[in-house]
Amino acid sequence: MALEMSQFHEAFFEEGFESLDAMEQGLLKLDPNAPNSETINSVFRVAHSLKGGSGMFGFTEITSFTHTLETLLDELRSGRKAVSSGIVDLLLKSTDVLRGMLQATQRKTPIDQQVVADLQFDLEQLVAQGPSAAAASQPAPQPEPEPEPSPPPAAAAAAELKPEQLAHPAGTTWRIELKPNERLLVLGNDPQRMLAELAELGDLERHVDTAAVPALADIDPEVCYLSWRLELNSQVTQEVIRSVFEWAEGDCELLIEAQPGSVAPAAEPEVRLPAAAEAAAAVPAAVREPPAASAEPPGALPAGAAPSAEARSASPARAETAAEPPKSATSDSNSIRVSIEKIDELMNTVGEIVITQSMLMQFAQGGDAASLDRLRTGLGQLERNVRELQDTVMRVRMLPISFVFSRFPRMVRDLAQKLGKQIELKMTGEQTELDKTVLEKIGDPLVHLVRNSVDHGVEAPAARLAAGKSAHGTVYLDASHRGGNIAVEVSDDGAGLDKDRIQAKARERGLIGAGDVLSDEQIYELIFLPGFSTAEKTTDVSGRGVGMDVVRRNIKSLGGKINISSERGRGSRFVITLPLTLAIVDGQSVTVGSESYIVPLISIIESLQVKPAQVNSLSGRGEVLSFRGDYLPIIRLHEVFGVEPRTRMLHEGLVVVAEGDGRRVGLFVDDLLGQQQVVIKSLETNYGHVEGVSGATILGDGSVALILDLPGLIRDASTRAAA
């Protein structure tokens, strides 16, 4: 039957990428000296579900590769092969290759066969090598290992059984009928595994039914014709037994029931017990429940007594569910996927409500007192509700910063290995949430900073020991909320910034005068200058084109800032402060003539009335304002935007001292109105790009106000002055 599978492809890819991330994280946690069996299991599960999914959709290259990977992982899991750092490296490489394969398949571009074949070869070699030295000490023929040392998932579950998962201590005899359907083997589910796992739950008696196996010539080597009738005497509940078949769900017919006469499970310890036994007995043996329907213990009567017709066979619809990896393999978070467009729509609507609300508020300004009072109360409430709604919607856009952090353990590990350093990465505050847009843009700057810390910050082990420090260096990553902002910190316990060298370099390049005395902060500022590097040689670790100037520019474009502190020999600390969201900005509204403009609060230093004496005119360079010992160029907004101002006399209006890209200017405006949060509407989408304007918003009275982009405005003004 031609089932339309392509609609599930996207879900598979998304799940796939997530699984790979989970796998990578798992692998990074894997300590070759003390391998955690649960970690190996979780990595195994990821490989397994990928294999199942790709088999489902006919992505044979991925299936084949994951099969090999799974085989190796199974060796590790069963303890036949010991985990070594070489194997972990190979497994990490496998996640990279798999990611590439997924991407290629998703984009329908060819897969890099050579890379895949090479790695698969290596993996197969490893598997073929047989038990490793460490594992070989165990007797090789040891059949299915005891729950120790690394039991398969279901057995692991059994090993950690909680009391409530155990039925009557005397045990129950479970009758299990397993009839694989045609696709089970192709999807990578081997009944061997399930039967072995069952055998670990208790005494298992197996009767294999071979009647359906056709003559050799007629066998399709990929179809399972065997079926099984099993009797399991065990103390576990039905759920535990069912979990053994979790992966095969939908690809086999399965019946699990308590034997009449045996002790029924204690899942429902009421007087219903006899009824349960009866119910189980009443179910005709021919009736097979699909696993999903057998979730309830027999104590819940209807499940066994009324199996639905569609449940009887593994319908295609059921088969689809197999494509979804078990939840535990990806993430435990209760989440749904929502497209960004939808959220943006919602955000827009909320923006509109905000506008309507402030419009109503203005109506309420005049009119008769009594009714207006009530109107105001109502509006006050509306305002509160709207603000809540706004907050909620904003939170929907928020994602934990772990989405960005998660790439660092791997990166630091690889870099440290390449540089021959011993570096530990400590991350805190991964759950700190910030806007998705900010999140996406903060990645590159963070990568650069972390790379810097690993490359230039933390010293080589020998140098560290010589400095009386432990050979192990540490790089810290931290994220936290600070007021309305997010602070992301990258720090290390390395050598710290070398102030003398930075200064020397700056002198050499003529950036500072020979006699200039700079404060620490001013010195650190220097490293943000384009092309500034004190590294004697650029390595391929740090020489990737993005300099600190780009880091700072990226952060500034997000409305954030970066601060450095450093102590010689003790380490350095880079603190990035970011706004929570880019969709809303705290602004100061100012008027020029009949127009209103919004100046982002973050860029305002102060506003003042100037005296004529404070202003000097420079020929050809416009006017400058003497401000706290500094001279700031004055930008007359009415000239920039071509509007008729209330006054052209500087002392009759106001000057807003604002900063952009590290340069300060005085903005000449008529008046200040008030501070408010404004929803940013893109000018590019609705009109076109205007230099010096970052967006627009709609004010309470329905008029449009432009939001000023200080860096742009300053650039624009300086080109004007130069012209």
Partner 1 sequence: MARARKSSAVARIPDSAAAPAMPEPVIDLGKTCGIREGASLKQQLLAVLEAADPVAIDPTAIERIDTAALQLLFAFERDRAAAGRSVAWRAPSAAFAQAAATLGLRLGGNAAAAQ
Enumerate binding residues for partner 1 (CB under 8 A).
64, 67, 71, 117-118, 121, 124-125, 127-128, 130, 140-144, 185-186, 190-192, 195-196, 199, 206-208, 210, 213-217, 219, 221-222, 224-226, 228
340-363 and 369-396 helices cross at what angle (nearest 10)? 170
Q: Which residue has the tokens 């505050």?
A: 429
Residue 622: strand pairing partners: 618
> Cβ of residue 170: shortest distance to partner 1, in angstroms?
24
Q: Which is nearer to partner 1, 141 or 163 (CB)?
A: 141
Q: In the bound complex, what is the minimum distance in angstroms from residue 576's beta carbon to partner 1?
A: 44
CB 227, min distance to partner 1, A: 11
Residue placing its CB nearer to partner 1 in the complex, 117 or 462: 117
For helices 408-419 and 436-452, the axis angle rounded to 10 degrees is 20
Which pairing describes strands 654-660 and 704-708: parallel, antiparallel, or unpaired?
unpaired
Contact 532, 547 (CB under 8 A): yes
Is 111:101 a contact under the CB 8 Å cutoff? yes
The distance of closest approach from Cβ of residue 173 to partner 1 in the complex, given in angstroms and rounded to an integer, is 17
In the complex, least distance from residue 59 CB atom to partner 1, rounded to whole angstroms = 15
What is the Cα–Cα distance from 35 to 76, expressed in whole angstroms?
9
Please say which residue, 190 or 525, places its beta carbon nearer to partner 1.
190
Shortest distance (Å) from residue 206 CB to partner 1: 3
The CB-of-231 to partner 1 minimum distance in angstroms stands at: 11
Q: In sequence order, what are the residues at sequence separation of 6 or more whose Cβ sits closer than 8 angstroms to the Cβ of residue 190?
A: none
H or E element, residue 251: none
For 368, the token pair is 């008769």
Q: DSSP string covering 635-687, please?
A: EEHHHHHT---S---GGGSEEEEEEETTEEEEEEESEEEEEEEEE-B-HHHHT
Pick from 203, 292, 208, 299: nearest CA to 258: 299
Give the tokens for residue 623. 């006017």
Which of 190/320 has CB closer to partner 1?
190
To partner 1, the closest distance from the beta carbon of 125 in angstroms equals 7
- Give 160 or 222: the residue with its C-beta nearer to partner 1: 222
Rank residues 16 and 145 by Cβ distance to partner 1 and give the closer one.
Answer: 145
Helix (H) or strand (E) holding 84: none
> Considering beta carbons, is residue 223 or 300 the nearer one to partner 1?
223
128 vs 336, beta carbon nearer partner 1: 128
Tokens of 308: 């639905």
Q: How far is the CB of 258 from partner 1 (least distance, A)?
A: 21
Minimum distance from residue 196 beta carbon to partner 1 (Å): 5
Please report how close the Cβ of residue 215 comes to partner 1 at its closest, in angstroms: 6
* 236 DSSP 8-state letter: B
Nearer to partner 1, 115 or 411 (CB): 115
Q: Are 471 and 422 contacting, i.e. CB atoms less than 8 angstroms apart? A: yes
- Closest approach of Cβ 253 to partner 1, in Å? 16
H or E stretch at 225: none
CA distances from 162 to 166, 234, 236 (A): 7, 15, 10
Q: How far apart are CA 453 and CA 458, in angstroms?
A: 6
* Smallest gap from residue 121 Cβ to partner 1 (A): 6
User: CA–CA distance from 54 to each of 3, 331, 554 (Å)?
Assistant: 15, 19, 38
Q: How far is CA 405 from CA 381, 435, 546, 558, 631, in A?
A: 40, 15, 19, 18, 42
Tokens linked to 364: 């309420």
**Minimum CB distance to partner 1 smaller for 227 or for 566:** 227
Nearer to partner 1, 71 or 539 (CB): 71
3-class DSSP state of 11: helix
CB of 2: closest distance to partner 1 in angstroms?
Answer: 24
Nearer to partner 1, 5 or 127 (CB): 127
CA 369 from chain centre, in angstroms, equals 54
Cβ proximity of 37 and 151 under 8 Å: yes
Q: Is the peptide bond before 612 cis (omega within 30 degrees of 0)?
A: no
Task: Identify residue 684 by its one-letter amino acid code.
Answer: E
- Rounded to an integer, what distance in angstroms lies between the CA atom of residue 208 and that of residue 210? 6
CB of 132 to partner 1, least distance (A): 13
Closer residue to partner 1, CB minimum distance, 204 or 442: 204
Q: Which is nearer to partner 1, 121 or 363 (CB)?
A: 121
Between residues 234 and 542, which has the closer beta carbon with respect to partner 1? 234
Q: What is the three-class DSSP state of 282?
A: helix
Nearest CA to 408 out of 131, 21, 124, 94 is that of 21
Tokens of 83: 């985990």
